[in-house]
Structure 1
Amino acid sequence: MRDRSSPVKGDDPSNVLFDTWLTARAATALLDGALAGTGLDAEDFAVYSLLRRAGEISPGELARWVSAPATTVSSHVKRLLARGHVRRVPHPQDRRSYRITLTDAGRDAHTAAGRRFLPALATVEAALPRPAGDVRQALRELQAAIEAATERS
């Protein structure tokens, strides 16, 4: 990975959106490496974490949470169903829709991957120049600003 302390040729291309993109790519690479051999990658782990926290969620709700098109979420759900890590549950208010929830096998896969995730998280949090809660608050504010800009577009 390139040392970000030395700029690329020419002017530093940084701005808040570009730096966010670079940070997301670096986080994905770190998590993919930490999760190697678990059967889950960074995206899978994030989705399993959301499902575990939510209990049950509709594909539309999941798409909103992960800021992904419905078609992308649908493909992801199909992969998780094929693994036996999620199951469909009838939607209580909408007969045309369904909700998804982790199976025992999905929870076990998430727990096993979590054992690889936690040391990576601890290493990153230990290297932060300010408390993790402050950084998370700044990230929530950034996400809200991005979502507001998306709604105006």
Structure 2
Amino acid sequence: MTSAPASDGPMSLLFDIWLLTGLTNGLLDDILVGSELNGDDFGMYSLLRRYGPATPTQVHKWTGMRSTTVSAHLKRLEARGHITRSANPADGRSHRVGLSAAGEAAHDAAAEPFLAAMHVLRARFIPDTVRERLVLQHLDTVLRESSGLDKRPYRVVLEQGASDHDLTGAPVLAYAGEPLSSAEEQQVRLYIDFLRSQESNDTRPGIPGSS
């Protein structure tokens, strides 16, 4: 039996995300074990209920799932009688899918154990979950841009009146405008580095970096 190679430190950020994805899917499956839906189903039903009807192509661009995976998933939902298909008024060559009344009922039933579990989990998460979600939203944006996908159908924002300090007491620069692309964020970071370099080079009293 060969031994595992020695670790040279933490794994990559993408591996971190992969681990979280697996943990999330497994936890959702356990939470929903008594309902008609599994974790993947619950996500798809929630997406279609909130943002549907939508074309299968749009579902692919929102989720990043391969088109064949989206198609297979929708066929399973259709076999249960949980989705409806209708003509796409914007393009006669495609169609849109949405939840049927039976699909909404199945989603409602699954939402009960989901919300109960979230009530317990919320107390175990870091209190400032909005900032956690903002970090995840940034990762989401980078991955979408890398894959040429659409923006997610919603965005998380820092609520009005939220603290302008993080959990350590350090000040946080809040930004409530349209989300920046990864290239724009990189430019902002470079400018911040430039400002800090100017501050460190100016040792005169008064406002740092002033002339």
Shorter-chain TM-score tier: 0.7 to 0.9
Q: Deviations over 1:33-72 (max 9, x none)?
A: 0000211111100000000101311100011111111111
How far, CA to CA, are the matches of 1:120 and 1:10 in structure 2?
38
Structure 2 counterpart of 1:123: 120
Q: Which structure 2 residues correspond to residues 54-133 of structure 1 after superposition, within 5 A?
A: 54-133=51-130
Q: Which has the higher contact order (CA 8 A, sep 6+)?
A: 1
Measured after TM superposition, the shift of residue 96 of structure 1 is: 1.4
Report how many residues are paired: 144
Structure 1 counterpart of 2:147: 150
Structure 2 counterpart of 1:135: 132
How far, CA to CA, are the matches of 1:113 and 1:28 in structure 2?
15
How far, CA to CA, are the matches of 1:24 and 1:122 in structure 2?
20
Q: Is the 8 A contact 1:91 1:99 kept in 2?
A: yes
Structure 2 counterpart of 1:52: 49
More helix by share: 1
**Unpaired stretches in structure 1, ≥5 consecutive residues:** 1-7
TM-score (norm 2): 0.64
Is 1:16 the counterpart of 2:13 in the alignment?
A: yes
How far, CA to CA, are the matches of 1:120 and 1:44 in structure 2?
17
Find the residue that maps to 1:127 and give its secondary structure: coil
Query: Which segments of structure 1 move beyond 6 Å, counting only runs of 4 or more?
Result: none
TM-score (norm 1): 0.87
How far, CA to CA, are the matches of 1:148 and 1:91 in structure 2?
26
How far, CA to CA, are the matches of 1:95 and 1:34 in structure 2?
40
Report which of the two structures shows the higher radius of gyration computed on alpha carbons: 2
Is 1:40 the counterpart of 2:13 in the alignment?
A: no
How far, CA to CA, are the matches of 1:10 and 1:122 in structure 2?
40
Percent of aligned positions that are identical: 38
Q: Deviations over 1:95-132 (max 9, x none)?
A: 11110110110000001000011122233322112412
Structure 2 counterpart of 1:4: none
